[in-house]
Structure 1
């Protein structure tokens, strides 16, 4: 799964990378502890790509309030096409969530949560596959999204059995619906060599923690 992530690249850098027009109300970066329900950067495809802001936490159209059901921050690749909450978005509303890295947790012998930071081995940003939904109830209107996850590759499985779907640049047009059909084949684990990971301070266990030191390695 992906329950927390990091974004350090500036919005204008992400706009250039994805060749997208940036909106005016983008969330502040860097953010070394992006949490569910935060506003996050999202790339939308089409004739002119857009870099916009959405709530991380997909809200199905039948929810009467954002808290009317489970918090849907991830969508499983294996079932995304069948789940009532996700199937329409998987066909029609795919997007990309830019990130620098993400966190995952293991547990020690005392059942304490041990955080790990995971990032591309060559550095640079990650493009998470995601889906989005416009939620409206009365006068309330909100664009929301979920990150797509798949089974972990062998390297990542040492930490967790799930991982985000990470898209390479050549995959972006297909995922965004700009290059025809076949996006389902992109929902696969990244190559084992794609990611590096290391232990970080348990301070990140708190969603209130902040600062660039959150991703600094510590002794395991």
Structure 2
């Protein structure tokens, strides 16, 4: 899965990288501890850069907390799950990031955080998005697509986010027709480097660049 991530690129740099027009309400950066329900930068079809709530709200929820917080969508079932199947067909998005965190446990059950980032090139998560509305309440929400971890990552976690290279962005957004399903695979074995970081990041209130420094 992907439960926390890092984003450090300025909005104008992201907009230039994706050739996207940015909205006016973009999240503050850098953010070394992006948590579920936080606003995140998202690129949608039409190459628009917008802010969305990380945590997908299905259309049938009566309130934003009416059911589980859906921060991830499994690639293996996304096309069939009622919560995601329409979004998978019509509302795919790109979620820029710098790196992400995962956790292992020691013999005493303590959570040990790891920081994972690409060896080179931009990091872009495959995502899906949804507008949820009830009365005057309106939330534009997203989830990160995940898949089974590759062998290198499986030492830390059995799942990993689906990441897309620049030559795959257009297909995922639907700009190059059909075929996005074939992109929902694990990254190559040598795509990421990872290292242990301070348990400080176990708190969703932790801030600062020190969170990604090697322990």
TM superposition score category, shorter chain reference: over 0.9
Match of 2:63 in 1: 65
Superposition RMSD in Å? 0.5
| Deviation (angstroms), 1:45 | 1.5
Match of 1:164 in 2: 161
> Once the two structures are superposed, what CA deviation does each residue of 1:128-181 show, in whole Å capped at 9, x if it has no partner?
000000000011111000000000000000100000000000000000010000
Distance in 2 (CA, whole Å) between partners of 1:68 and 1:138 is 15
Match of 1:201 in 2: 198
Distance in 2 (CA, whole Å) between partners of 1:44 and 1:12 is 16
| Deviation (angstroms), 1:125 | 2.8
Aligned residues: 215
* TM-score for both structures, normalised by structure 1: 0.97
Distance in 2 (CA, whole Å) between partners of 1:117 and 1:186 is 24
* TM-score for both structures, normalised by structure 2: 0.99
Match of 2:15 in 1: 15
In structure 1, the gaps of 5 or more residues are: none
Question: In the alignment, does 2:111 pair up with 1:113?
Answer: yes
Distance in 2 (CA, whole Å) between partners of 1:86 and 1:206 is 29
Match of 1:136 in 2: 133
Match of 1:82 in 2: 80
Distance in 1 (CA, whole Å) between partners of 2:67 and 2:198 is 32
In structure 2, the gaps of 5 or more residues are: none
> Once the two structures are superposed, what CA deviation does each residue of 1:83-135 show, in whole Å capped at 9, x if it has no partner?
0000000000000100000000000000000000000012x431100000000
| Deviation (angstroms), 1:73 | 0.1
Distance in 2 (CA, whole Å) between partners of 1:87 and 1:44 is 17
What SS class does the counterpart of residue 193 from structure 1 fall into? Answer: coil
